[in-house]
Amino acid sequence: MTLAIRGDRTSCLSLQLGPGTWLLAVARGFGQMGGLPIESALLARLRAECQGRMRSPLFRRAIDRPQAAATAMLAVLGRVNGALHANTANHDDYVTAAASLTAVIIVQGLAYVIHVGATAAYLARAGEIAPLCDDDVMEERPVPVLIRAFAAAPTLDVGISNVRLIPGDAIVLLGRRIAGANERRTLLDRLDASELGEQILVARFEEDAGAISPRAGATFYSSTIVRAFTAVAAAIGFLAAAVLAH
């Protein structure tokens, strides 16, 4: 498959990790780090960490195999989360800076979605659109709050899903979730617009000599959501602080 990427490159990241492996990410947050908005600091650190690891033959081998690539990316995100948290004043009772992050690693026609917070990933296929990650926002309270966030704690708690891609599919990363049929239709109509707007990244998959053909009777998409915990010190824990949604 050929990957065609369009959209906002300021609050989004697109990075080729191998011949057939791409990393896409969108971030949104509050607070600053080193004079930068937390989402900019997060994406810059994520890019630098990936580029540094790409010098390792072990990482390059892992990143070209689907399950190994997802595991390798969890380790990268855990390292980045720990480094960012260590440079904030965040603690169990108060959070000064945190971010939502949705990252998609695509390898051999399989997309793994790693998600925390209020950003989102969608799959557009055959005129329909479906979410690829859960919503980490609690709307029941007077002020919506995040139940998980990047850099809010030394341990990163993320959700993971995966989907097999076919020619014509598009992965859409957004800085917020969409609600209702009207917003979904509007998003579908915008996918081919010349200007996509802020905090939206579209990766469209086109058929080439190595394309993956759709299987007869295939469903719209198949996604399995699991929970994963990563930490620099290999500690496992839940996010203790409720972070105000930006």
Sign of CA pseudo-dihedral 233, 237, 238, 240? negative
Task: Return the DSSP state at 211.
Answer: P
- Is the Cβ–Cβ distance between 168 and 192 less than 8 Å? no
Domains in the chain with CATH codes: 2-244 (3.60.40.10)
Lowest pLDDT segment from 63-67, 168-172, 235-239: 235-239
pLDDT at 134: 80
Q: Which residues, 6+ apart, have CB-to-CB distance to 181 below 8 Å? A: none
Residue 19 φ then ψ, to 5°: -55, -40
Q: How confident is the model at residue 229 (pLDDT cuts 50, 70, 90)?
A: very low
Reported as type and span, the H/E element at residue 49 is helix 38-53
**Beta-bridge partner residues of 30:** 98
Query: What gap in Å lies between CA 230 and CA 237, rounded to an integer?
Result: 9
| DSSP reduced 3-state for 59 | helix
Residues in the chain: 246
Q: Residue 204: is its pLDDT beyond 60?
A: yes
Q: Residue 227: is its pLDDT beyond 50?
A: no
Q: How confident is the model at residue 76 (pLDDT cuts 50, 70, 90)?
A: very high
Compute the average pLDDT of residues 226-246.
36
pLDDT at 163: 93
Q: How confident is the model at residue 117 (pLDDT cuts 50, 70, 90)?
A: confident
Query: What gap in Å lies between CA 213 and CA 210, rounded to an integer?
Result: 9
Query: What gap in Å lies between CA 192 and CA 190, rounded to an integer?
Result: 6
Mean pLDDT of the chain: 78
Compute the average pLDDT of residues 113-120.
91
CA within 13 Å, CB half, 230: 23
Q: Which residues, 6+ apart, have CB-to-CB distance to 241 below 8 Å? A: 90, 91, 92, 93, 94, 95, 152, 153
Lowest pLDDT segment from 43-47, 102-106, 151-155: 151-155
Query: What gap in Å lies between CA 218 and CA 123, rounded to an integer?
Result: 15
Q: How confident is the model at residue 181 (pLDDT cuts 50, 70, 90)?
A: confident
Sign of CA pseudo-dihedral 125, 205, 218, 116? negative
